[in-house]
Amino acid sequence: MPERCSRPNAVGMEFHRIQTCAVSVQSSEGQYLMEQTLLSQYFWLFCGVWVGLGNLVWIRFRLRSRIVSGEFSRAEVDSYTRNLALWVGGTCLGFWLMQHSAKNAGPGFMTWPNPQREIAIFLTVFVWAALMYWVFVRRGADVLSKFLCALSYRGTSMYSPLVVKLVTIAGILAGAFELFSGGMPHS
């Protein structure tokens, strides 16, 4: 993959990696062009930082007054945000490492070669199973309901443990349908 594109812009300066570069990739059907951008190269890291670390900072910031009032303990907020950041960040880091072990791969793991694609599917199913276990067996629905109610600008009845369980099931079913029905591009 080239370190930068050398297509000059209107004022004669060069576009660097942040701009789109066309990279030639060999496939079983021959040559084709794959768009490689900074976003596609680091998509999974951006997701881990934005969703994992971003939520850690945002939740701790939003709940600081509730810690002072005693509604939440510092340990409770720290444990929740740390685990959220580790699960999201760790999963995203795993996807990013697999993406970069497959040469010139984009962020969509269904287009990755084997074994990266199978490992990514396994990781996805593992995370779904862990979420289901936590929500239904380890009373994670109660934890999520409590945090969602505290973080919400809306009424609290919208985030009952039952609603959290239903949304968890719906989200996993939608993801599984998309993953296994052929909705995503396959290589």
Same domain, 32 and 46: no
Task: State residue 68's pLDDT score.
Answer: 86
Whether residue 105 sits in one domain with residue 147: yes
Give the chain's domain count. Answer: 2
Extract long-range pairs of 26-33: CB within 8 Å, 24+ residues apart.
Answer: 27/187
Range of the domain at 162: 41-180
Residue 125: pLDDT above 60? yes
155, 100 Cβ separation under 8 angstroms: no
Residues 24 and 103 in one domain: no
Q: Do residues 23 and 70 share a domain? A: no
User: What is the per-residue pLDDT across 86-109, written as a single tens digit (0 to 9) for each?
Assistant: 898 888 898 888 888 887 777 787
Whether residue 57 lies inside any domain: the answer is yes
Q: What is the pLDDT of residues 149-162, one digit of tens each?
A: 888 777 666 788 88
Examine the domain organization and report whether 30 and 48 are in the same domain.
no
Clarify whether residues 22 and 47 are in a common domain.
Answer: no
The band of 132, judged by pLDDT with boundaries at 50, 70 and 90, is very high
Q: What are the helix (H) ranges across the chain? A: 38-47, 54-62, 64-69, 74-101, 116-136, 140-151, 161-180
Assess whether 30 and 121 both reside in one domain: no
Q: Do 63 and 96 contact (CB within 8 A), yes or no?
A: no
**pLDDT score recorded for residue 182:** 65
* 22 and 81 housed in the same domain: no
Residue 185 lies in a domain: no
Same-domain status, 98 and 52: yes
Extract long-range pairs of 163-167: CB within 8 Å, 24+ residues apart.
164/135, 165/135, 165/136, 165/141
Q: What is the pLDDT of residue 130?
A: 92
Once rounded to an integer, what is the mean pLDDT over residues 128-146? 90
User: What pLDDT does residue 66 have?
Assistant: 83
31 and 45 share one domain: no
- Residues 29-62 pLDDT 10s: 433 344 457 777 888 888 888 888 888 888 888 8
Q: What does the mean pLDDT of the chain come to? A: 76
Residues 52, 127, single domain; the answer is: yes
